[in-house]
Every structure is written in C-alpha cells, then in structure tokens.
Chains A and B, each alone.
Chain A
Amino acid sequence: MNLSSRKFIVGIIFLVVGIIFIIRLFNVQVLDDKYKSESDHNVLREVIQYPARGLIYDRTGELLVYNEAAYDLMILPKQVKELDTLALCELLEIGKKDFLEKFTKAKKYSRYKPSTFLKEISSVSYANIQEQLYRYPGFFVQTRTLRKYPRKSAAHILGYIGEVNQSVIEERPYYKSGDYIGKSGLEYSYEEMLRGTRGVKRILVDVHNREKGSYRDGAKDTMAVTGTVLHTTLDIVLQEYGELLMKGKKGSIVAIEPKTGEILSLVSAPYYDPNMLVGRAVGKNYPVLSKDTLNPLFNRALMAKYPPGSIFKTVQAMIGLQEGVISENSSFACNKSLVGCHNHPTASSVAASVKMSCNPYYYNVYKRILQQKRAKSIFKDSELGLAIWSKQVKKFGFGQRLATDLPNIKAGYVPDVGFYNRWYGEGRWAFSTIYSLSIGQGEMGVIPLQMANLSAIIANRGYYRVPHFVKNIEGIDTIPQKFKEKHSIDIDEKYINTVIDGMYGVVYEPGGTARRARVHDDVVVCGKTGTAQNPHGEDHSVFMAFAPRDNPQIAIAVYVENAGGGGSWAAPIAGLMIEQYLTDSISTRNKKREEYILKNNYKIPPPY
C-alpha cells in the first residue's frame, strides 16, 4: 500500500470522530429531553443557615434575651418566571405598586443573588404563603431569628441588633447584605461571640420551586454554629426595680458589686421596652424614640456628663489627707465669704466636714493641696499642685473612659495644667482662679458610672475593678483579663476610713443630709449627697452610697435630673435599691418612701 494514501485513513478517523461527536451532541442536545428536565431540577439555591444568636442571662440565671423564629420571603430575580403579579400581591397582601418597587429593587441589587423581598412574615401568613409558593419560581422563604426580651427591661445594656450597613459589609468580609449585627449595648460589644457562625446549605430545587434534596449529598454544606451564651452580672430584679423607681423621671442609677466591679444594675431614664427595636417594628419605633426630646435612646449612665458636685468632697478629703496637707482633725471655719454655704456648726474634723458638706472647708483643703509652697511664684506653685492633684484624681477613674463592655462610654473630664494654660495662659492662673473645683464644680465632668465606681473604691478601701457586665462566657468560661485587674488609687486605708466615718454620718448622724437613705436596721449605709449644678434649670439630685459598711456588697450612684438637692430624691432611691438588693424586699418603714417616689413621677410622661 502506498503510504501517501494513509493520509485518507487518518483524515477519515478524524472525520469519523467529529461525526460521532456531532451525532452524540445532536442526540444529547436536541433529541433527548431528559437533560433539559434534569437541568430544570438542577436549580441550585444557597440557603443560609442563620445560627441562633447567643442567649443572654442575668447573674441569677434569669433569661434576658432569646430568639424567636421569623420568616423572610426571598427573591432570586433570575429564576422568576411567568409571574402572576396580581395573585402574588394578593397572597402577600401588598399593593401592586409596592410589589413592583420591591421587585425592581431586588433586580437592581442582583439578578443572580437572592435578596430579601418581604421581611418577617407572620407565622400565619407564612403557612399560607409556603403552601402557594410553588407557583412562584424564584421566590422562597428563609428562616431567621429575632431577638426577644421576656423581661422588657435593661434596653440600654442589652442593646439591639440591626441590619449591617454598606461600610460594615465592605470592611468585614463575614457580613453579607441582610445580615444582622449588634448595634449597641452588649449586642455590640460581644457581637462576635453572640452571633455564632453562619452556615450555608446548598439545596436543589426544580423549576416548580420544590426542594429536590441537597447538592452533592451535602458535601459542600457548612453547619451553622450557635452563638455563645453570655451570662451577665446584671440582677434583673434589681434592674426592674430601679426602672420602676425611675419611672417618670430623668436620670440614672448605677449599682456595682464593689469587690468584683460587676454591675448589678444600670438604669437610664427615660427608658424603653427593648422589644420595640426588634425586626420590622424598628422602622416604626426607631424614629419615634430618636425624635423624643427626652432622648430615651441616650444612655445617661455612660454618656451624660455632670459636674461631680459635693460628692467630690470625699475625693478632696482623701487627697488632702494623703498629701498630708490636712489631718483627720483639721478644722476650718465656715467662712461664707470664700464660697457660699448653708448654716451648720463648724466642721471640726474631716468626717464632720463630709457629713455637713461644708463648702468653705473644702475651699481651704483644696487651697492647701494646690499651694504647697513648692515654688515661690503663687502661679507656679498652683501649677505644681494641680499637676499632682489631677494625676491623683485620674487614679479614681475620672477623666478617662472606663474600659467597660458597653460601647460609647464617655470619659468625663479632669482639668490639668495644660488645660488651664491654654485657657488662661501660662502663669496667669492660680488657686483663686480655679477654686470652684474644690467643691466639685467648674470644669470637671463625670459620668454616673464613674460616680458609682468612686463609691465602690471607697467601699473597697482603695481599689476598683473596671465595672463590667460580663459574668461568664460559656465555652470559654472566663471573662476578659482587664476585668480581673485591680486598680489601686494609692490612698492609705486609714484616710479612706476617715471619709467613710463622714459618709456614715451623712446617713445616720444628726445634721446628716441623707437620713432618707436609711434602710433595714441591720444594714449600715454610708453615703454622700450632692447637687450637680444645672445652668439650664433646676439642679440635679445626686447620691452615692455603699452598704453594708463592713464587707460592702453594693455601691451605688443615683442621679435624678432637675430634682433639687441630693437628699430629697436620689438618697431615698439609693436606699430602696440597696434594701431591695440586700434583703430582697422593702421594709414597712421604706414602703412609704417607695410610694412617695413612685407617685411623684413629676413632669415627665410615662416611659415607653
């Protein structure tokens, strides 16, 4: 055979293979309908397995936050076919215009990716819709969970969750459009633990929108991991009681367990039911809450800055004693020409000065702290003194953001040398310029949490742990190290005890300003009243206390805005809170006070 003729053999083999392929392709693509119907069954849908968000409990194991199932109607525009718009509108109980808007929006977002069409269908309409859904390819229902708050309390602490915004989606790849994220409170701070991990289940659905089983036997599916359970330090009974007492008032209560820094209760009034900011209701309620002039969304306990007022005298006393510029028995006349005061006997000791809250006394104490004759110039001397003073004050946690586990906490303000140098010019200010700091007025600012922390410091005789809400994180079974660390204020215990003597007098001795804070006879309360000056209206009533005097279990600060002197409102509220916490009940003697407080919810409409 001529070899050259073999080109035909090779050519024919090539050609035959080509023809076989074409025949096979014609068979598969044109003649055989099997593959077309298989393809219709092969519509892949990614169903996101939303993990149940972590539950939140109070310190006694009471459930504060749980999850409830919700159903979202999803749309995948690419798969929408032969749509009977009118029937679907009827089924979903929405108008045609509304429908078209949503449809356009979904298509604009993506033709290939599913998006939410209708949020939180009620479980009744869910059953109805689910039954009919097979008629509407491209639509399907996705299950999600909503937060529920059985105690309707502690909204500011627990916070709320909401849909992620675009910037979060871009910065944090975990989040996808439509996901929920903690927006405030503990939901925000512990987001990564609470949220768990999303899973994805890939299922096959046919053109009739019916599920046909899992894709590749589930080989590529990922399981959702449930969020971590969070145990908080909150005592929900105390919290609810605090909210009850603050009903109709503006202000805040912060109660801390001194030894541990655990926050037992943190009330900011006016407050709202946390269930208001859940799911679809948010759209309706959020504008109402945010437009309210009383600003219920604002967490006063962490964000409201007040002058510390008379309570700050306890700090001045401790610093004065520690600096050695006064002794326990120092006595200063109540010279009202220095600074105004009320009528009272001369304070002949530090304890008495705390009890009687004598302003001129602290004018003198502060003067001695600032002017210790370290320099010849009176200006330079004040500067050196202020430097020592502000450094010491900051050790109490003032003027800095306490690293607690709620977001958006304010630092307050402790003025220092730099501040006044900028304000008045260097060498142009001295004690006489800034003396109002001596009685907690002037440029100083504190938040209620810092005040409660001061109370805890005194109760602990000289240290604090950063106040916090986390008691235990399940699975890790510990809390962040920063909440375990002791912060010392570097004041000798004996000086603190001197101040405590005075705080005891405030509640129990004649001439004390907070006799209304007394509770059950077995419980010794030590406290200090204050009045935070308010240039815009009536002064704020402030009270700080801890109890019992020995081995204290609770330290508390109460702010009632526009309520006048600390003894009138803040002290009895603190007393009731202490009694509630320590004895789990209110004694008959205090029942009357409770009634009075509850009745006089002045000027402010009831909370939400």
Chain B
Amino acid sequence: MRSYKNILGKIDWSIVLLYLILIFVGWINIYAAVYNEDHHSIFDISQRYGKQLMWIGLALVIAFVILLVDSQFFTSFAIPIYAIVLLSLVGVLLFGVETNGARSWFKLGGFKLQPSEFAKFATSLALAKYLSALNIKMKDVKTKVLAAVIIGLPAVLILLQNDTGSTLVYAAFIFVLYREGLSGNILLFGILAILVFVLTLIFGPVNIILTAAFAYIIIYGLLKYDVKTTFIALVAYSGLVYAFFYFELISNILYYSIAGGLFFLVVYLITRKEMRDKSIHYIGVVIFVLTCFYIFSIDFAFNKVLKEHQRTRITVLLGEEEKLVEQIETLKIARDAEGISKEEKQKIRDDIGAKRFSLRELRQGNGWNIKQSLIAIGSGGFTGKGFLDGTQTKFNFVPEQSTDFIFCTIGEEWGFLGTFFLVCIYIALFLRILFLAERQRSIFSRVYGYAVASILFFHFLINIGMTIGLAPVIGIPLPFISYGGSSLWSFTILLFIFIKLDSERLLVLR
C-alpha cells in the first residue's frame, strides 16, 4: 500500500479544483433556486440545499475512496462492473418505481437511486477495456460492431425505461471512437444528419430537397463540365422552381442560400476523393436519392411516429407557435365552409383539436419553459440581479429550477459574468481532461479519459443548449451542479476514476 501522501501528491489538482468550484457553484445556486424564507439556513436538511450538501459530503467520501483504490482494480473489474450495471438496468425495469413517466429509480427505504446514472462510468470502463485489448483495430468491422454493442446495450435498456434524455447521452461515445480511429466521415455524417433533420423540420421536406438539388447541380456541374454549363443548368433549374412556386409566393431567399451553401460544402467534403473517379455519376445520384429519402423519412417520422410531447420538444425549438395559430384559423374556415360532408367536418374538428392540444403544450409546456428560461437568463443582464434576488426563478416561472434548469438561476442572478465564468470552467475542465487523456501511456486510460470528457461535454451541450434555446428540451442534469444525489455521485465516480488512473499513469503500463 502506498502512503496517502504518495497518492495525493500525484493526482492532478487542477481538475480537483475545477470539480470543487462546480459543486460549490451548484450548491449555492440550488439554495437560490429553491430558497425558502421559512428555512433560510443553507444547511437546513429539510430543504434541497441542505440535502445537496449531504450529497456533496457523500460524493467527497466516494471520491476519496476511489483515490485509495488501486487503479488495477478498475482495469481488472471493468467487465464485471459493466455486467452488474446491465443487470441493475434490467432490474429497474422490473422492480423500479416510476417518476415523471420514466421507470428508472430503485427505491431503498427513503432513498432513491438511479442505476442509469451509474451506467455511464461502467460503459466507459467496459469500452476502455475492450478497445485497449491487444490486436483491436478500429478499422475492423468486428471492432466497430462490438464497440457499438457495448455502448448500445445500456442505451437500449435506458430507452426502455422511457428515459430518452439519458439514452441520448450515449451518442457522446462517438468522440471516443473517433479518437480511436473511427472514420471522420461518420462524425461528419452525424453532424450533417442532425443539420438536415433540423432544416427539414424548419423549412419542410420539399424546400430542402429543392435546395439539395440546387447544391448538387453546382457541385456536379462544376466538377464534370464547366462553369458555363453549370450556370445554364442552374438558371434552367431556378426558372423551373420559380415557375413552380410562382403562385405560392415562397420568398425566403436567405434561408435558401444558407441551406444551399451548407449542402454545397457538405456534399463536396464527402465526395471530394471520389470525384476523380468515373463512378462519380452514380455515386452522386445515389447520394442525392438517399438524401431525399432521408428528408422524407424525417418528415414522416416527425409527423407520424413521434408522440405529441416528443414533437413539441422539437417544434418549440423551431418557433412553431405562430404557424400553429395560423393553421387552426385556416382549419376553422374550412370547417365552417358550406357543402362539406359530416365525416369531413368531423375530421377537421379532430384536426383542430389535435392542433389546439399542441398549442396548449407549446404555451404551457415546453414552449413556455424555453421562453421563461430565456427570459430568466436574459433578464440577468451583464452583472446579474444579485444572489437570491432573482425574480423569474424565485416565482416558479422556470420549471425544475434546481435540477435541469439550474442554469437559469445562475444566468439570472449572476448575469453574463456568471455564465461566462461557468462556461469557461466547463471548457477548461473538458480540455484539461483531453490533455491528461493524451498523456496516458495506456490505451485504457486514454479511452476512459475521452469517455469522461465526452459524457460531461454532452451533458453540458444539451443542458445549457436547452436553457438558451439552442437544443430541444431534454431533461438531463448539468454535471456537478444540478440537484440530486445519483447524478452527482455518478459524475464524481466517473471523474475520479480518471483522476486515479492519471495519478498512476507512470506506474503501470496497461
């Protein structure tokens, strides 16, 4: 056994410091978010702030214990830990309690535990173990498939718990795989797919396909023929489209240009190698057809497959409210028109009902939440309203103030200075983890480090993105800050295993 001094001397104190800053920021902002005049002591354990302090205390104990454990333990037991967590994920499906529509909690006496939180570090360990094994190459199909299985298993089990937010977190592993040799095109493709998805929802499938075609003509024409031919083709195409839309009066040229430009860039990047090939013609057509298919399937999935509440999460983001109001008005006119059959009338009525439901959701549900969240953060101004002086977060305008929307309290009371500081702390933490991951001698430690950074980053991306209207409303906690024992402990474990691995990087070559 090495002495404490030896252990403490080798750990990376800068990460520990960033960690301590974040949990402290979390604690005082939970205090501000759920401040209760009758219990104004920040240590009052009948309130969330008192409880969070208890969770923090326990988290520090957990962190300390992890630092004492030999790092060999994590490499040796990576797979058993993963197996136990998978079992508990199955168990929670059978014996768990349901909260907010997600069956993801174990209840032990007065205590609640969320196994999906712990699946994150277990999956990271398992993936690190697998990718660090001898003769594993990312290029092999078998490696890709097995890595996907390791990541996918917990993700599917969590999806079955009806916890979409936690499932999406597993997408973060794409950064790990990318670093270990997964083709960059896949990362690019993922980003592209998301872009097309959002654009399709905003502008509709037909517009996006027209734009895609426009971009395709430019690329194809320039590479295969010459500028003059391309120009003629474009004029002809534009003329056709213009004629087609003449009576519809679709005029938002700016959006067309942006979408077209993006397509130009993306299609060029993907196909730049293959352009010199003669099969360019067929590949181009295939890409175009696939794109069209994807665009239509987005439209189909969105309107037919997604449930109403999932749809509103996205429509809110896209500012659909006015559109809905307009649609309802149009339908009303259709309903009151003469000479339509009873069945038709009923159908229109049902349609109006559904749209009204969406509107209500928008105004009272997620739409309202996003709007209030933005108002709270925006009203903070440059310097903020001051500690405990927030009005938007005090009066319950913002939902889940101490958990998923804790960033609003920070934004309102500490202003841009506070949010800037916090974003910087996070980015510093992520980059520091990346830096440490790169200096590891063992692949295991590096993969694990990348997993830690990616998971934390993904939470940061979605959570803050959601509160400032850049991401859909997906309820996942802000690491180290949001209220809650399970998430705090899981992030602490996730991070401190890495700190431990890093502290012993020179001792062992794994």
Contact = CB atoms under 8 A, between A and B. Distances in A.
B392 interface: yes
Contacts of B368: 216
Given A11-B434, A32-B378, A42-B391, A25 B411 contact: yes
B325 interface: no
A11 B438 CA distance: 11
Contacts of A424: none
A34 B378 contact: yes
Nearest to B179: A6
B367 to A, nearest CB: 11
Nearest to A45: B395
A14 B434 CA distance: 10
A30 B381 contact: yes
A44 B378 contact: no
A544 B494 CA distance: 89
Contacts of B424: 18
B392 A39 contact: yes
Contact of A28 (B378, B396, B438, B450): B378
Contacts of B380: 29
Given A6-B178, A29-B416, A21 B464 contact: yes
Interface string A18-48: 1011101110111010111011101110000
A602 interface: no
B464 A38 contact: no
A389 to B, nearest CB: 58
A29 B37 contact: no
A279 B397 CA distance: 35
Contacts of A13: 175
A29 B381 contact: yes
Given A14-B457, A113-B37, A25 B416 contact: yes
Contacts of A43: 391, 395
A217 interface: yes
Interface in B330-378: 360, 363-364, 368, 372, 374-378
A4 interface: yes
B461 interface: yes
B465 interface: yes
Interface in B170-193: 175, 178-181, 184
A428 B253 CA distance: 116
Interface residues of A, number: 40
Contacts of B184: 1, 6, 9
A320 B470 CA distance: 96
A3 interface: yes
Given A6-B178, A7-B179, A7-B434, A17 B377 contact: no
A35 B374 contact: yes
A18 B379 contact: no
Contacts of A338: none
A1 B273 CA distance: 15
Contacts of B181: 3
A3 B175 CA distance: 12
B450 A20 contact: no
Contacts of B465: 21
Contacts of B391: 39, 42-43, 78
A22 B381 contact: no
A20 B453 CA distance: 18
Nearest to A1: B184
Nearest to A46: B395
A10 B434 contact: yes
Contact of A216 (B364, B416, B420): B364
Given A10-B450, A29-B415, A44 B395 contact: yes
B470 A20 contact: yes
Interface string B152-179: 0000000000000000000000010011
A67 B288 CA distance: 76
Q: Is the interface of B mostly helix, strand, loop or mixed?
A: helix
Contact of B468 (A24, A34, A110): A24
Contact of A29 (B378, B395, B397, B453): B378
A212 to B, nearest CB: 13
A39 B180 contact: no
Nearest to B438: A7
Residue in A10, A17, A112, A217 whose Cβ sees the most chain B Cβ within 10 Å: A10
Contacts of B379: 35-36, 38-40
Interface string A78-113: 100000000000000000000000000000001111
A219 interface: yes
A25 B464 CA distance: 10
Contacts of B415: 29
B423 interface: yes
Contacts of B411: 25, 29
Contacts of A375: none
B416 A30 contact: yes
B71 interface: no
Residue in A15, A18, A112 whose Cβ sees the most chain B Cβ within 10 Å: A18
A78 B389 CA distance: 9
A28 to B, nearest CB: 5
Nearest to B465: A21
Contacts of B376: 39
Nearest to B390: A39
A113 B37 CA distance: 10
Contacts of A22: 419-420, 423
Contacts of A112: 37, 394
Contacts of A11: 431, 434
Interface in B373-430: 374-382, 391-392, 394-397, 411, 415-416, 419-420, 423-424, 426-427, 430
A219 B379 CA distance: 24
Contacts of B450: 10
B198 to A, nearest CB: 15
A15 B460 CA distance: 12
Contacts of B372: 42
Interface string B190-226: 0000000000000000000000000000000000000
B464 to A, nearest CB: 6
B378 A39 contact: yes
B461 A219 contact: no
B468 A26 contact: no
A28 B434 contact: no
Nearest to B470: A24
B416 A26 contact: yes
A25 B37 contact: no
Contacts of B468: 21, 24-25, 28
A176 to B, nearest CB: 13
A3 B392 CA distance: 47
Contacts of B416: 25-26, 29-30
B382 A30 contact: yes
A39 B375 contact: yes
Interface string B465-481: 10010100000000000
Contact of B175 (A10, A25, A32): A10
Nearest to B412: A39
Given A39-B391, A219-B364, A18 B419 contact: no
A597 to B, nearest CB: 59
Contact of A17 (B420, B453, B461): B461
B31 to A, nearest CB: 15
Contacts of B427: 14-15, 18
Interface in B448-503: 450, 453, 457, 460-461, 464-465, 468, 470
Given A10-B175, A10-B178, A29-B415, A36 B378 contact: yes
Nearest to A25: B419
8 contacts: A7-B438, A10-B175, A14-B431, A29-B411, A39-B376, A42-B372, A110-B37, A216-B368
Leading 3 A-B pairs by shortest Cβ distance: A35-B378, A39-B379, A18-B427
Interface of A: 1, 3-4, 6-7, 9-11, 13-15, 17-18, 20-22, 24-26, 28-30, 32, 34-36, 38-40, 42-44, 78, 110-113, 216-217, 219
Given A25-B377, A25-B468, A29-B382, 6 more contacts: A3-B179, A6-B184, A21-B464, A25-B411, A29-B419, A43-B395
